[in-house]
Amino acid sequence: MISNIFIRNFAIVDQLELDFTKGMTAFTGETGAGKSILLDAIGLILGDRADTDTVRHGTDKAEVICTFDISAITPVKEWLEDNDLLADEDECTIRRIISSEGRSKSYINGSPAPLQSLKQLGEMLVNIHGQHEHQSLTKKITQREILDEYAQNQSLLEEISTLFKDFTATKAKLDELKQNNQSTLERVDYLRFQINQFESLALEENEYSRLSEEHKVLANAGNISATGQQVAQILNENEQFNVNDGLNQAISLISSIGIEDKKLDAICELLSSAQIQADEAFGELSSYIDNIDLDPGRLVFVEDRIAAILDMARKHQSEPIELLKKLSALNEELESLENSEQITEDLENRLIELQNKYDQVAQKLTASRAKAAKDLSKQISASMNELGMSDGIFDIALSASQTTEPQKFGTDTIEYLVSANKGQPLKALGKIASGGELSRISLALQVAAANSIKIPTMIFDEVDTGIGGGIAQVVGNKLRQLADSRQVFCVTHLPQVASSAHQHLRVQKSIENENTKTDINLLDTEKRIDEIARMLGGVNITENTLNHAKEMIAEGSG
């Protein structure tokens, strides 16, 4: 749940910090006071996009920080851990900064995070029901999502979605294979021709690299041999003077000094070591020179072979060292085409297998939806009666899809049907004429479905618009009941709803230093009575109005 929110320079809020508790919290205030500002700030925390209008005039940036109690929300902790963002087992802090130029920064537990991460995390923390949300209820996708969420069909939906993807991918492969059958023979002949060229070349593993190295030596064999002979003369073969003789002479001269001196001994050791290394270098050089191939025919062969390999590489638009991989790919394609009949049969059998598995899961999904539809329809019909539609009937109708092929969300067509008045037939929800009736049905649906939702915080933004009297009191009671198991925020203009809250905050707009600002204050018992009385009686508050307010608060808290 939301435990704390801090807002600075946001819209007409200068600076504001609020602590929240469990249960139901009501937000009230005069029209235009800015009751929606808090919800807009929470929306930013949940990943909504922002513009420069959100930054308070005359400031360079707006900031919103929201702290959530996640001690009992295992999925949130798992998500944070999976994304290396878990800093505390009990709390999660989300911060959003909007600059006056429109730039945005967001953080989760102090670490930078993209908006997509805020949205993913926010969906597990807060569920917002807006005052115009009833409009989306007429959409088939929204109707299906509500029913599946109520039925807790997530695992079945994941399973059926996977089967749908596998079926679609397999069918695409099969269709492509059948479409290509006409050109298969030509392609097979061409592949065989290419493979025969490779076989004629008889390329060996790493052959190009070896030939390239050999070519460097063969092309420079004469120069290498002549230079090697010169070095051999210097090292050992020159009779007049060579390195070996010079080192011997140097060692003899130092030894002839005839005194014991550690420094001279060290010099002799170094000279002896140099003599040994010079001898080894002479031996290696002699062997290298002796093995140099001065055969011009070999050079011609290597050059021709390299040219043939490069020509093959050009034909296949490949690097020489990648030619064997190209040959392997050609062989695989040829094998695939030559076995196309078997592959076609395998794909057809796979489609039948996937269809059977899909049908089994789809039947389970249909059964789950049918059970949930019956239960949810009963609950919503009862809520409609409580909300002033005494003869109203709500029904969720399921029918089989006209296509037999797998669909992403199952084989059911789902439609919400309503009869608002006695004697009227059930009609599609979108065909109801009265906006007020649709709004009340929406609220009944939201409250009924909310019991199955595991999200810890629910926000209702003036969903009670268009109702009043005893019905408003029913709405307040339902929201308070809902708050027994979660945190509920309600922005309302009805005293019957506000009096049902566990916590009451008033939104108030004022002018200070010719600047407009909004404050939100937690009301104590006395101020809460005054606020409910204001909502009941307007400008002139009488003793009777105050007594009525006290009665409403007492009844709403009962």
Q: What is the pLDDT of residue 215?
A: 73
Rounded to an integer, the average pLDDT of 354-371 is: 96
Give the whole-number percent of the chain exceeding pLDDT 90: 30
**Confidence (pTM):** 0.61
Interval 287-320: pLDDT, tens = 777 666 666 677 778 778 888 888 888 888 889 8
Q: In which band, very low, low, confident or very high, does the pLDDT at 433 lie, cut at 50, 70 and 90? A: very low
* CA–CA gap between residue 166 and residue 159 (Å, rounded): 11
- Rounded CA separation 36/509 (Å): 12
pLDDT of res. 221? 64
210 vs 351, more confident: 351
Please give the pLDDT value at position 350: 95
- Which candidate, 388, 397, 348, 344, places its Cα nearest to that of 369? 397
Higher pLDDT, 266 or 4: 4
How far is the C-alpha of 339 from the C-alpha of 271, rounded, in Å? 74
**pLDDT, position 219:** 65
In the numeric block, which tokens belong to residue 199?
């076989």
Q: 235: which DSSP letter? A: I
Does the pLDDT at position 535 exceed 70?
A: yes
Confidence category of residue 506, pLDDT binned at 50, 70, 90:
very high
Higher pLDDT among residues 233 and 66, named by residue: 66
Q: How far apart are CA 341 and CA 347, in angstroms?
A: 10
What is the CATH code for 1-131+462-558? 3.40.50.300
Higher pLDDT, 392 or 259: 392
8-state DSSP, 457: E
Q: Is the pLDDT of residue 154 over 70?
A: yes
pLDDT band at 558 (very low <50, low <70, confident <90, very high): low
What does 465-513 look like in DSSP terms, one character per residue? TT--HHHHHHHHHHHHHHTTSSEEEEE-S-HHHHTT-SEEEEEEEEEET
pLDDT of residue 355 exceeding 80, the answer is yes
In whole angstroms, what is the distance from residue 531 CA to residue 523 CA?
9
453: pLDDT strictly greater than 70: no
The string of pLDDT tens digits covering residues 195-241 is: 999 888 888 888 888 888 877 777 666 677 667 677 777 777 677 77
User: Which of residues 547 and 36 earns the better pLDDT score?
Assistant: 547
Higher pLDDT, 270 or 53: 270
The pLDDT value given to residue 169: 95
Give the ranges where 292-339 is alpha helix by DSSP (H): 296-315, 323-338
pLDDT in tens, 82-103: 999 998 889 999 999 999 888 8
Give the residue, 336 or 348, on which the prediction is more confident.
348
Mean pLDDT of 13-30: 90
* pLDDT one-digit tens code per residue, 475-504: 888 888 888 888 999 888 899 999 999 999
Lowest mean pLDDT among 13-22, 178-187, 265-274, 488-497: 178-187
Which of 60-74, 245-259, 519-533 has the weakest average pLDDT?
Answer: 245-259
Looking at residue 1, its amino acid is: M
CB neighbour list of residue 398: distance below 8 Å, 6 or more residues apart? 366, 369, 370, 373, 412, 413, 414
Burial 180-214 (b: 16+ CB within 10 A, else e): eeeeeeeeeeebeebeeebeebebeeebbeebeeb
Every domain of the chain and the residues it spans: 1-131+462-558, 185-338
**Mean pLDDT, residues 126-151:** 78
pLDDT (average), residues 511-531: 84
pLDDT value at residue 333? 85
